[in-house]
Chains A and B, each alone.
Chain A
Amino acid sequence: MTRMNEPQTLIDKLWSAHEIVRREDGAALLWVDRHYVHEGSFHAFSQPKARGRALAEPGLTFAVADHYVPTRGRDRVIADQEIKAIVDNLTANTSANGIKLFGLGDPRQGIVHVVGPEQGLTTPGLLIVCGDSHTSTHGAFGAYAFGIGASEVAHVLMTQTLWQKKPKRMRITIAGKTGAGIAAKDIALAIIARIGADGAQGHAVEFAGSAITALSMEGRMTLCNMSIEAGGRCGSVAPDATTFAYLKDRPYVPQGAAFERAVEAWSALTSDPAATFDREVALDAETIAPIVTWGTTPDDALPIDGRAPDPARERDPVRAQYVRDALDYMDIAPGKKLTEIAIDRAFIGSCTNARIEDLRAAAAVLAGRVSKVPGLVAPGSSLVKRQAEEEGLDRIFRDAGLEWGEAGCSMCLGLNGDIVSPGERCASTTNRNFRGRQGPGARTHLMSPAMVAAAAVSGHLADVRPLLAGRKV
C-alpha cells in the first residue's frame, strides 16, 4: 500500500483515485469513469438481461459501431445477414439501456479508440475500459485504460466497477530525438522487439522521455495502443500542454472555466521525481530505424535494412523451431533481405494508425506516385475521413490507385469481410501480424503508415527515408 507523502508514479496516482475498497487478498474494487462498447460486446449485454438488472450508470457507457461495419457501400443495407444482425443488435441493446451510440450513419462514427479521444470522452485522470485489448490507446491522455473480457464488460454495465489486482509498474524511457521518417509506430515496434511480446506482462507501463513528449497526441495513441503487443496491462503518457491543446473545446470535455480547473487537476498527473518503478527500460531515440515485422508475433520486428533470421543460426532449439515455422508460414527464405520481400497488398487503417496524422504521413509518400499493388485506406473515424477529404488526401490515395473506404476496424481483423486472401502478403499499419489475423492464411507485415506507402509504391518492403527526400512532411 502506498503511504501518504511517499513519492508516487502516474500509475499509482491513477489507481488510488479509483480504488473504492481493497480486499485482504489484494483485489481492489475500482470505479470506472468511461466504458466503451461495440458490436462485439453482445455476449456481455445478455447478462444484465438474464439477471433482470438495470445498468448502473448508462450515462458513462458510450457505444460505437466499428468491428463489423462495412467499409464500402455504406448507403446500402448490409448484405451479410449475420453481420447485419450483430450491428442491429448493438443499436437495440444501446437503445434499450439508454446508452449513447455513435452508430452507422452518425457523422462521428468510427473506431472506438479514435472516436473516444476525438469526442473528448477520453481525458486525463479517467479509468477507461472496453471489451477490446487496444483500449490501452486511451492511456496516451494520462488515463488508466485497459481491455477487458465479456464477463467484466457485463460487470461494468451492472455495477460501473471492476475487481482488479494492481499491476507492477514499468517505465519505458525514450530519450533523444528520432530521425526523419521515424514514426511512433517505429518507436513502438522497437520497444516490442527489445522487451518481447510478453515483456510488459503483468505491468502497467508509463512512457517517458524527450522522444515521447515530442510526440503529437496521435503518435502517443499509436504508442499506447501497441503497449498490449508487448503484453502490458496498459500504457500511459503523463498529460501535458500537447494533451490539453488537443482536448480543448472537444464536445464532451468540460468547457470554459471548468476546463481550466480540469487542466489544473490534470497537471498533477505526473510521476513524482523520486518515484520508483518495478522495472525501467531505456532506449535511445537516435538508434531507432524504420521497422517492419517479418514473422507472426509483433516482436518479430527488425530495422528495414536487415535480413530475415536464419533458424540455422539460432542457438536455442525451441527458438530455431519457432523461426522455422514463422518463416514457413510467411513464405520467407532464411536470411532474405527484408527489402527484397515483394508484397501483394497494402492496408492503411486500424485503431493503431488511421488518424489524420497517419493519413498525412502516408499521403506525403504517395503524392505523385502510383502504388504497384492494390490497397485499401480505411480512415479511423468518419470525422477523420471528412478532414482528410478537406485536405485532399483522398485524391492522393485514389490517384495512387488505392481504395478510399469508410471508417471501421476493417482489414485489421477482417470481421466485416475485408480480408487478405490466403497466401497474400500485406504491408499493414495494423497491430497484429498473428497467423490468420487478417484472414485465413494471410501474411501480415506491420509497419508505420509512411512505410506502408513506401512498400506500396515500391512493390516490396522498402525504406521510406529516400522516398521522402525533398518532400515536405
Chain B
Amino acid sequence: MEKFVRLTAKACPFNLPNINTDQILPGRYLKLPRSAGLGAVLFSDLRRDADGRRRPDFPLNQPLWRDARILVAGRNFGGGSSREAAVYALYDAGFRCVIAPSFGDIFAQNAVKNGLLAAVLTEADVSELDSAIAADPELPVTVDLERQTIARGNRSFAFAIDPVSRNQLLNGWDDIDLTDSYRGQIAAFTAADRARRPWARPAQS
C-alpha cells in the first residue's frame, strides 16, 4: 500500500451531505475489474444527465478541478454499501484525501486499506475551507498526516483521524504481514477457544 504522509494539491469543494457509496460508484459498475480503472465512472450518475451528457455544474466536470487530488465533502460521506470499489473509483480518479465532517464507517475502513486519507474536520471548518477555496480556487491545500493539519495559505485546521488509521497510512503497512507477526497468538487463541466455545464451529462442513 502507498504511504500517506503529506500532500499538497488542489482541493475540490463538493459539500453535499449523505453522498453514499451508490452515488460514488453506482452498482452497475461493480462488475468491472479494478484493472479497468474506475476513475471514469466515479460519481457517474451525478456527473452525467440521463442522456449521458456531462452536467456542467458538477465540480469534477469543470477544467479547474481536473487536477484536484483532495475532495472537500459533506457530512456522512460514503455511507451505505460496503463496496470497496467506491474507494477504488476515487483513487483511480486521482484523489488521495477526502475531507468531511463524518464518514460512513465501512468506507473509512476501506479508504485506509487503499491509501486514501479520510480526514475529519468539523462542519464549521469545512464551511470555512469551502468559502476560502471558492474565493481563490487555485491556492493549493496541504494535508499533513503527521501533524494532523490541513493548511491553506496562512490558515491551518486540525483534523481528526483515529490513531489506528493514522499509523497504517503513515507506515503504508500491509495488514497481512502485520497479522502474520501474531501467528503464535492466533494459534494460542484458537486452541483455547475450541475448549471455551465448542459450539462456535459449524456442526457439519
Residues of A within 8 A of B (CB): 17, 20-21, 23, 25-27, 29, 31, 33-34, 40, 43, 51, 59-60, 68, 82-83, 86, 100, 120-121, 123, 125-126, 131-133, 146-152, 155, 158-161, 163, 165, 167, 197-198, 201-202, 228, 231, 233, 251-255, 258, 261-262, 265-266, 296-297, 318, 322, 413-415, 422, 432, 434-437, 440-441
Contact = CB atoms under 8 A, between A and B. Distances in A.
Interface stretch (B59-67, B83-91, B132-140, B143-151): B83-91
Nearest to A409: B27
A125 B17 contact: no
Contacts, number: 180
Nearest to B105: A233
B162 A436 contact: no
Give 9 nearest A-B pairs by CB, closest first: A149-B84, A262-B199, A149-B110, A151-B113, A198-B76, A147-B82, A150-B84, A27-B164, A133-B82
Contacts of B154: none
Contacts of A43: 34, 84-85
B164 A25 contact: yes
A4 to B, nearest CB: 16
A362 B8 CA distance: 56
A231 to B, nearest CB: 6
A125 B200 CA distance: 8
Contacts of A31: 186, 189-190, 193
Contacts of B22: 413, 432, 434-437
A148 B109 contact: yes
Given A25-B163, A440-B50, A197 B175 contact: no
A138 to B, nearest CB: 14
Given A43-B84, A231-B79, 6 more contacts: A125-B200, A415-B28, A432-B80, A434-B20, A435-B45, A440-B45
B155 interface: no
A391 B85 CA distance: 41
Nearest to A295: B18
B75 interface: yes
Contacts of B124: none
A467 B81 CA distance: 34
Counting contact residues on chain B (CB < 8 A from A), the size range is 35 or more
B54 to A, nearest CB: 15
B183 to A, nearest CB: 9
A249 B57 CA distance: 59
B76 A201 contact: yes
Nearest to B22: A434
21 contacts: A21-B182, A26-B163, A27-B164, A31-B190, A40-B30, A43-B85, A123-B199, A132-B82, A133-B82, A149-B83, A151-B110, A152-B110, A161-B179, A163-B175, A197-B79, A228-B80, A265-B197, A322-B18, A413-B27, A414-B27, A415-B31
B200 A126 contact: yes
A149 B106 contact: yes
B176 interface: yes
A414 B26 CA distance: 10
B185 A21 contact: yes
Interface in B162-180: 162-164, 167, 175-176, 178-180
Interface string B185-198: 11001100100111
A25 B112 CA distance: 15
Contacts of A258: 198-199, 203
Nearest to A33: B200
A150 B20 CA distance: 17
Nearest to A231: B79
B23 interface: yes
B113 A149 contact: yes
A434 B20 CA distance: 8
Interface in B66-111: 75-76, 79-85, 87, 102, 104-106, 109-110
Contact of A125 (B26, B45, B186, B197): B197
A20 B22 CA distance: 34
Nearest to B84: A149
Nearest to A68: B31
Contacts of A20: 182, 185-186, 189
A254 B199 contact: yes
B199 A265 contact: yes
Interface centre among A251, A255, A436 (most CB of B within 10 A): A436
A95 to B, nearest CB: 14
